[in-house]
Structure 1
């Protein structure tokens, strides 16, 4: 198994277990979401928050990260939990959605999601964020004539132009394979990438397959949606993320209630 080193995993054990568990994945910050894990644990949920790049024996950046890392962590949670969910933000949402197409999950929460696989660059070589069985997954290449015009840079234009010009059907995340509850959370003022557009694409493709998707949106929120009581997120690449503290917090509060219900299995999507 491609298990995470103990030093790269924070396990939050609830005082009163409900039988539910969740795997929590950060985005490009690379941090271990320990505070978020403890938040879930206070509601009876066993939570594993892991570092998935930059840790011991791991890839240094989001570049050819093995999906087996996440699939095996889900299997580890299954050893002690009857119901297992996964929650990811940004690049972590990309990983969460892909993981859910490879192994059964009861609930998937993708915050600032993407509908396709993207690349990273390492030592001058572009390749997929992810591998499976050692082979890189197909990805959408970036346009080579884009340059940031803001400081800090907004990458929304890069992702939008790349998607419109170099759409790769094989790079689409096969969200039709996700059979558990799926919750997508998107701020319409996301300046990193078009997460609201991605959420709509995911919901549309799943609807065509007869599958329900729950989408939470906020017109003024950006790339981040902190849950109530969480500290302000730090780290990651310097960039414009959009939104405002107030709007982001509003979206996060809505997302928290919806996510908690789905992890616990206490309600079904409307």
Structure 2
């Protein structure tokens, strides 16, 4: 692996480039539980990619939650990558970040590849407040050209089954809500069949956050030829070779174990690099 050069980006972002240069850039998107992408950007840069991690909510001038986030935010990330010499543009996202990355592949034709870790196949509603400070009533997580995207509703009356460890598994909420509103769930599908980007879909069968395995298979079915990497015992937070274990949660059950999450990331890693570098 090569050495890297790191640069702070206004708004809480980081740009990490290989010392030897690169023509392949990747926008790295965090999930809903935290904005940290720095270590992942360093790992990708050491693998020969220009990696840009941005803060896309909770920052100055941004919604405090994942609520009606303009998808143009991510297109501007592509603009920045192009400005530093990236010619092949891809996105790698985890969880809600994967949801955004998949939409980017549909809406921004510059997207050459998307790596979706623990993805959803539909748009779900907001998590947290919008710019008005309100979380309810639920709204779309995303907008495009000022218009909110259709979203699948969540059942506000759902209550999680108690776990012995006191952690909350949200997966049942999403599964129950999808079954409760099948028509709106179908209408909220992310239309990846309209995209030209390569897709690498990575999901753990023990994901406790949402049904990413079923979502990943639905995305693959809509885009034949997509790469699907699964591991039954892995959870919501796969990690690539060289990444530290995720910080344990004090309230959410993400599923999996450190060993299985690492095994899933290790299995996916060659496919990730192949897609991001465009060596297919």
TM above 0.5: yes
C-alpha contact 2:167 2:250 (8 A) present in aligned 1: no
SS of residue in 2 equivalent to 1:125? coil
Work out the CA distance in 1 between the residues paired with 2:247 and 2:67.
22
C-alpha contact 1:29 1:235 (8 A) present in aligned 2: no
Work out the CA distance in 2 between the residues paired with 1:251 and 1:175.
23
Spell out, residue by residue over 1:72-118, the C-alpha distance to the aligned partner (whole angstroms, 9 max, x if none): 21122123211111000000000000011011211110000000000
Work out the CA distance in 2 between the residues paired with 1:201 and 1:73.
27
> What's the C-alpha RMSD, in Å, of the aligned pairs?
1.7
1:32 is displaced (CA, Å) by 3.1
Spell out, residue by residue over 1:19-58, the C-alpha distance to the aligned partner (whole angstroms, 9 max, x if none): 1110000001231300110111112211101111101211
- Confirm or deny that 1:103 pairs with 2:120: no
1:131 to 139, 143, 147: 143
2:229 alignment partner in structure 1: 216
1:115 alignment partner in structure 2: 121
Work out the CA distance in 2 between the residues paired with 1:257 and 1:236.
29
Q: 1:78 to 1:177 in 2, by over 3 A?
A: farther
Work out the CA distance in 1 between the residues paired with 2:148 and 2:236.
26
C-alpha contact 1:8 1:56 (8 A) present in aligned 2: no
1:148 is displaced (CA, Å) by 1.1
- Confirm or deny that 1:254 pairs with 2:254: no
Work out the CA distance in 1 between the residues paired with 2:80 and 2:190.
24
Spell out, residue by residue over 1:176-215, the C-alpha distance to the aligned partner (whole angstroms, 9 max, x if none): 12212110000011111010000111111223xxxx2110
Work out the CA distance in 2 between the residues paired with 1:203 and 1:142.
24
1:62 to 62, 66, 82: 66
Q: How does 1:1-270 map onto structure 2 within 5 Å?
A: 6-79=10-83, 80-104=85-109, 105-120=111-126, 121-122=128-129, 123=134, 124-149=136-161, 150=163, 151-167=166-182, 168=184, 169-207=186-224, 212-234=225-247, 238-266=251-279, 268=280
Work out the CA distance in 2 between the residues paired with 1:194 and 1:7.
32
C-alpha contact 1:183 1:213 (8 A) present in aligned 2: yes
Kindly tell me the number of residue pairs found equivalent between the two proteins.
260
